[in-house]
Amino acid sequence: MRQREVRAAVDRLGAWVAGLRWADVPAGPRERLGLVLLDVLGVTALGAREPEQRRLVEAWTPGPGPAPLVGAGCTTMVEAAAWLNATALVRLELDEGHKRAKGHPAAHAFPAVLALAAERDASGPDTLAALLAAYEVGARFGRATRLRPGTHPHGNWGVTGAAAGCARLLGLDAGATAGAIDAGSGMPIAGHFASALDGNRVRDAWMGSANVSGLAAARMAAAGLARSTGTAAGSLGELLGELDPAELDADPGSRWEVEGGYVKRHASCSFTHAAVDAALELRGRLDGEVEEVLVETHSLAAGLDRRTWTGPLAAMFSVPFTVATALRRGRMDPAALSAEALADPATAALAARVTVRAAPDLDARLPAERPARVTVRSVAGTVTAEAPNPVGDADHHPFTTQTLPTLLADLLGGSEPVDAIQAVCAALPGLPAVGDALRGLAGLKEDRSCVSTP
């Protein structure tokens, strides 16, 4: 029974994606998609600068092709671009997400859709429709899926979004698009959350795999090799967790998931953000040496309580590190993840005095809120601050077309790359072919270029 329900929902989603036209999309989701795209491209360009990412590109030796490596100075083949851009996008934990989907719909799909759009020289409206379809399908699968405890959300339910967006770019009909989504739902990664806590960069690879798997699913459907059978009922609904079919095709075209996401201002797991925001609020009220910090939060974040870290990724998933960094430095930005900052003995000493625990009153506010309450005791007294959601959430001080460019310019060290991305985003709706504009994004770089095979 459940497999039939899933199949019927996927069939309806396939029909909606195949019929989606950018001209029919209301102004609200159009504007929000533009904001998400600006953020995705800016964060990808920032991630491309990281030494780890540069070494990955060099080890990959990507051959020449039509798709850009954003911010890396070259173009390459579609699958290589999809994988490498996806890993750059999540490299610094700054990628956009969706709290009700419990993960990152855009990061699962946008690198694949943009790489394929560049290869096909798709029109701007078709590219935007494909990006929107990818987000909407991926977010619905995220909402519908309840992963088993300990499962990381990278690389599983989000493959469906990449498959849907790529199917839309390939111009597949309703049945073939449903087949692509179904095939994507059958290619999930079963990654353990402990990998992120341990600082294991395989976590980034799960996102690269999701994008490439979505491309593969769409190509399978284009070849007539994929069909809708309700595969997600077994893969996501049994092996990896539970699946609610009613959420899969809930009100497409009237409830726009893209409007409910969050943009991140801290280079760390989103579960740490409310605590970091509260710590930053308290920073100006502290007087004297900090003796103890208590972070009360929801159960999703309570497990991020490690007081030691093996590298940048592990630090980004540590509430003690991120809160201690916020209190000491006043920012939780990429500079806080440098080798020098990670080895700072004062930060380590303060993190050792941070206690993290779940609070029932805060847990009860899930999923509408992801709150945190931070209490700092110093020699001068005790102060407390609470945040209902991270700054940047759609429900709490969201970033806008006016404020997001300022944030990205601060992260990227200037407005020039942000201006270039904004120009591409603004031009897309009117472009008959997007290839050259997208390939220009490879030039959002410092004085370097990636290795490519002759």
Task: Let me know if the fold of 2-265+411-443 is the same as that of 270-387.
Answer: no
Residue 445 has pLDDT above 80, yes or no: no
What pLDDT, in 10s, does the model give residues 288-324?
Answer: 889 999 999 999 999 999 999 999 999 999 999 999 9
- pLDDT given at position 379: 87
Percent of the chain with pLDDT over 90: 95
- pLDDT given at position 444: 79
- pLDDT given at position 288: 81
Q: Work out the pLDDT band at 451, boundaries 50, 70, 90.
A: very low
Could you tell me the residue ranges of all domains in the chain?
2-265+411-443, 270-387
Q: Calculate mean pLDDT across residues 346-356.
A: 97
Token representation of residue 358: 């779940």
Q: Calculate mean pLDDT across residues 324-344.
A: 96
Percent of the chain with pLDDT over 70: 98
Residue 207 has pLDDT above 70, yes or no: yes
Residue 252 has pLDDT above 70, yes or no: yes
Q: Calculate mean pLDDT across residues 21-25.
A: 98
Residue 446 has pLDDT above 90, yes or no: no
- Of residues 453 and 49, more confidence is placed in 49
Token representation of residue 44: 């990808």
What pLDDT, in 10s, does the model give residues 169-185?
Answer: 999 999 999 999 999 99
Q: Which CATH class is domain 270-387?
A: alpha beta
Q: What is the pTM of this model?
A: 0.96
What pLDDT, in 10s, does the model give residues 42-87?
Answer: 999 999 999 999 999 999 999 999 999 999 999 999 999 999 999 9
- pLDDT given at position 454: 30
What is the CATH number assigned to the segment(s) 2-265+411-443? 1.10.4100.10
